[in-house]
Structure 1
Amino acid sequence: MDTSSYTLEDLTEEVRNRYTSKRDSTVFILFIDKYAVDQSFIMLDSNENFKGMLSMGEDEVTGEPYEDDDSDQCPSEESYHSRLSSDIEDDRLNYEGETYSNVKRNSTMKVYSRFSNVIDFRRALNHHAITNEFDYFIEKSEPTRFTARCINMECGWKIHASLMEDGITFQVQEHSCIRSNKAGNRRATQGWIANIVTDKLKSDGDVGVPDLMKWISKTYNVELPCHKVFRGKEQAYTDVYGKWEDSFVMIDDFKEELHARDPRSVVDIEFEKDGDKKRFLRFFISFAACSTGFLVGCRPNISLDACHLKGNFNGVLAAATAIDGNNSIFPVAYGVLESENTKSWTWFLELLERAIGTPNGLVISSDMQKGLEVAITQVYPNIEHRECIRHLYSNLKRHFHDDFFYFKLWGAAIAYCVNDHDRLLDEIDVVRKEAITYLNDNHNKIWSRCKFGTTSKCDYITNNISESFNSWVGDLRYRPVLDLLDAIREKLMKRFDKKRRNVKKWKGSLVPMAKNYVRTITKNLGEYAVSRSSDNRAEVTYKGKRWDVTLDEKKCSC
């Protein structure tokens, strides 16, 4: 049950449907706090009381005690909202006066301290118990009053809270019994974990569950099971970025807003319909600034890749990334797909083709993801399709492990000369003919520089352009889909503005990367011997090798 959306009216309706056939019957719902020593029936007559009742059961629903948890496995980070999560608490109410709305910063309970509601108070009490390393039991728990004592009966510590006209006031005695959190304080609930890790997640990005466990143990001297920290982390993301469901509800409005801001942009969304219902599948964005910038300022070389999202959608973030004139990444298009398959990649590439067309000499580089090869053949049948050598070798070494294959294959990949490429592959063929057969059968795309076309003027043999984009947006992948798409839009806007300001500082007609490259290759030119045959043609000799160079045609026999 999602306690953040479930109301007293929902419970009443469920009880009426299950236990009575008369729709006009009157239903009274009462409950007993089983943890309270002085137990009595309490009537639920308002949503506020109902939320208070849910918060009283927080300790029960947040998981088993640490000592009973014998599993060393952490829940998968691919699931943003665990189905076991059930103690998400209500938002705090605003309250004037000395309040404790941020309980992680206030571990001292003072007389006459005031809290905005019972949930805030219980969180503060849990935090106070954890930071002072003791536990307590509830003696009386009602929506209007609360009494608890230290679990050590020899200790005289007691706290009482009651609803007053001016808020909730508390009277606290000094706690001085034996303290220990090493067994895992059961007051460290999911809500408490969410409170204390929120700031850390904001500052450090997506911190893993094992690292959060170590940080909590070091900071608060409490050891917690993996599954409890995981669910607390999930709730922290929900508190900061909202629910995943809300993200999908507003995604149509997001599309329309992008179109309204710039009609030249290519933005599309696809749903899967089931009767009157529809389920989100895919989203594509190529801003006019990105597509136009690619066509007029970048080489016709695009890297395609997709990385898994770390959220409840369990989809992938797909991107088409180019490189600008200064060899920096230039995002052309991005989107969210339900998975990597032929249908989703075909949909993505069709929209990419609508945004940029088919520039002369277009090259698409990829890691040969699932369904991508077929999609490229369907949408871009005549372009040059390159395969990343790093992923190619990763597949090859599963069958052929020796370092010999590593050096020969990478040597063949970086070779500009066809003769050098063929010689290295022949050496592999002599040692293991099966390796060459495997390459021909499974990796028949272009992966060597000597086979590259010359129009794109890009000799990258890996797909590191896409890897750089994935790293650039890495901290955003845990966000809900709408937040993710909009956060990337904001990063693009800031990146382009920064690039514009940097360009204004450049001097000369060459970009800094080109200047450095020319400076590097012009060193030690005295070792080259040039024999001219005409004004535009010459033979160049270097260390026993000779090349025919034609300047006006920009050709070299190398």
Structure 2
Amino acid sequence: MVKSIVTDHNCVHTREIKACTANFMAKNLIGQVERNPTIPVSALHEELQKKYEVGFLRMKAFRAKQIAQKQVFGDFQKQYALLRDYGLELMRSNVGTTFKVDVYSEPNPSSQSRIFRRVYVCLGALKLGFKAGSFPGQVLSAVGLDSNNGIYHLAYSIVEAETKSSWSWFLECLADDLDLNASSNFTFISDRQKGIIPAINQMFPNAEHIYCLRHIHENMRLHWRDTKYKDFLWDIATTTTIPHFDNAMELFKKYDVTTHDWLKKITATHWSRAHFSGRAKTHSLTNNLCEVFNSKIIHARDKPVITCLEYIREYLMKRIVVVQKSVDKSKGPLTPTATTILEGIVCSHAVSEIWDKIKYGGKKVPDIEAWVHPVYWLQTWADMYSHKIDPINRKSMWHKSACPFILMPPKHHIQVGRPKKKRKKVVGEVVTTGKDLSRKYITITCSKCGNKGHNQRSCKGQGGERERMSDGGNEVQKKGKAVADG
């Protein structure tokens, strides 16, 4: 029996018939793709075949999914033309929001179009919240630390590449939103990416720039993979005084002079607590919070530009509500993290000084929590999250931008193969998660002879005495089994 999926179409050519069939199937997949954007094509292929009792190639289901995704998430090309309209709606619904679009210079001034280059977003609620907790702290790219040592998202940007130009543009926008200038004393922490280092030095010459210790360790592992090196590195970085730092470096030098000399080339003011200015009230040595943020938006990276920006905005809007619930449940003058730290590492000298004032000064000294910096007060944490992000209207209700130029998508070279979403793992991460089955970085130990570098199958008797003892044990077991059988 011959079946037809689409019965009412006027297509003549085979190509038109295939496109019509794919569009028909896409209409039936919109709901599934919207609920589960990562649903496998094989699952859709199998379901459509069962539903219509018609066999067809898997590629047809793949095309249908692409069409459905375009209808759900928008068109990659067309969304750039609507980007300014989206910015106007975002600034209307969230007062104080900064939305900036940068384009490539056009050699023909009379051209009615401009090619997209960058977009920068700093939501008004996040800006006000950061200023509410604007004590000396850290800015991790566009992610900061809140009063509970949690992630506080501040600004995000889509740029063409990580270059000095893009980082400088991003920092200029950030400086305008946070009222920063060349003499500002903020603390930035990042990896040693070649573009961001000169950009920060140029924009904020008085700022403290900390290099992520995890990235330093990754560079070290390229040459020295022993875990002992990691222990030395963290011991040195966490020292709090110069004499302790010098002693730790001397011990490292005795262990390995070459690695010591390599580490010494990195200025200690960028990675050792003993050399920090003390302006930042946190002890973070890594920018792991940025990596956490990147993992949260992994499903937005392959979406059209407005869909990607909306995914991030919705995530931030939900996160503020989630943290607000934690704030409402918390009790006491300090945040939960600050309370835990205070209970565990109270400075004996500070307690002695307070006790001395009580005993000999005759003064009424406040509780120990009052001596903690205001950045860790529960009230400060509540003020930061008191500003909420508001939703926006649907696309049909957006105001049209008055800009006369049409925004065109940037030039993009499609790479060969399937697009990669996950970030590349470094050498040290391959075996740390427990989920990676690769044995590339694992030293194999033979269960037969006990030596390293081979397994039981490829063992050639390197174990000597242990192997002979094992064989002897097997003989005893065989004799014992024979006796039992007898």
Q: TM-score, normalised by structure 2?
A: 0.61
Instruction: Report deviation, 1:298.
Output: 5.0
Instruction: Say which structure, 1 or 2, has more relative contact order (CA 8 Å, 6+ apart).
Output: 2
What is the CA deviation profile of residues 421-458 of structure 1, one whole-angstrom value per residue up to 9, with x for unaligned ones?
32232233234333233334456661122222322211
Number of aligned positions between the proteins: 346
> Displacement, 1:291?
1.6
Q: Write the letter of the residue equivalent to 1:399.
A: H
Q: Does 1:535 align with 2:367?
A: no
Task: Give the structure 1 partner of residue 252 of structure 2.
Answer: 428
Displacement of 1:290 after TM fit?
1.2
Secondary structure of the residue aligned to 1:282 is: strand
**SS across alignment from 1:273:** coil
More strand by share: 1
- 1:282 maps onto 2:118 in alignment: yes
1:25-61 deviations in whole A, cap 9, x for unaligned? xxxxxxxxxxx9xxxxxxxxxxx745875343x3xxx
The answer to whether residue 132 in structure 2 is matched with residue 296 in structure 1 is: yes
* Aligned mates of 1:252, 1:326 — CA distance in 2: 36
Distance 1:477 1:469 in 2: 12
CA distance in 2, matches of 1:453, 1:354: 25
* Contact 2:159 2:166 (8 Å CA) reproduced: yes
Q: Would you say 1:249 and 2:73 are equivalent positions?
A: no
> One-letter code of the match for 1:436?
H
Percent identity of paired positions between Structure 1 and Structure 2: 28
Distance 1:302 1:216 in 2: 49
CA distance in 1, matches of 2:35, 2:269: 43
Alignment of 1:265-414 (within 5 A): 265-274=97-106, 275=108, 276=111, 277-304=113-140, 320-358=142-180, 361-414=185-238
1:400 Cα deviation after fit: 2.3
Gaps of 5+ in 2: 3-8, 360-369, 374-486
Divergent runs of 4+, >6 A: 214-225, 227-232, 527-534, 551-554
**Partner Cα distance (1:553, 1:260) in 2:** 39
Change beyond 3 A, Cα 1:444–1:255: farther
Q: CA 1:432 to 1:537, structure 2 compared with 1: closer, same or farther past 3 Å?
A: farther
Whole-Å Cα distance in 2 between the matches of residues 419 and 51 of structure 1?
A: 85
CA distance in 1, matches of 2:12, 2:56: 28
- Cα deviation 1:239-266 (Å, max 9, x = unaligned): 3212101110100112222333455322
Using a 3 Å threshold, how does the CA distance of structure 1 residues 231 and 372 change in structure 2: closer, same or farther? Answer: farther
Aligned equivalents of 1:486, 1:553: Cα separation in 2: 38
Secondary structure of the corresponding residue to residue 279 of structure 1: strand
- Work out which of the residue numbers 291, 303, 310 in structure 2 matches 1:479: 303
Contact 2:271 2:285 (C-alpha < 8 Å) held by counterparts: yes
2:277 pairs, out of 449, 453, 467, with: 453
What is the RMSD computed on CA atoms of the aligned residues?
A: 4.0
5+ residue gaps, structure 1, are 1-35, 37-47, 59-88, 91-117, 124-190, 306-319, 539-550
Letter in 1 for 2:158: V
Q: CA deviation at 1:370?
A: 3.7
- Quick one: which amino acid aligns to residue 273 of structure 1? S
For the 8 Å contact 1:322–1:331, the answer to whether it is kept is yes
Q: Name the structure where helix makes up a greater proportion of residues.
A: 2
Matched residue, 2:239: 415
Structure-2 change in CA distance of 1:503 and 1:224 (3 Å): same
SS across alignment from 1:478: coil
1:2-41 aligned within 5 A: none
Amino acid at match of 1:327: N
Q: 1:463 aligns with which of 287, 290, 303?
A: 287
- 1:223/1:458 CA distance change after superposition, 3 Å: farther
Counterpart secondary structure, 1:386: strand
From the superposition, tell whether residues 367 and 358 of structure 1 become closer, same or farther in structure 2 (CA, over 3 Å).
same
TM alignment of 1:60-79, pairs within 5 A: none
State the partner residue of 1:54.
Answer: 15
| 2:117 aligned partner, one-letter code | L
Q: How much does 1:480 deviate?
A: 0.8
C-alpha displacement at 1:462, in angstroms? Answer: 1.0
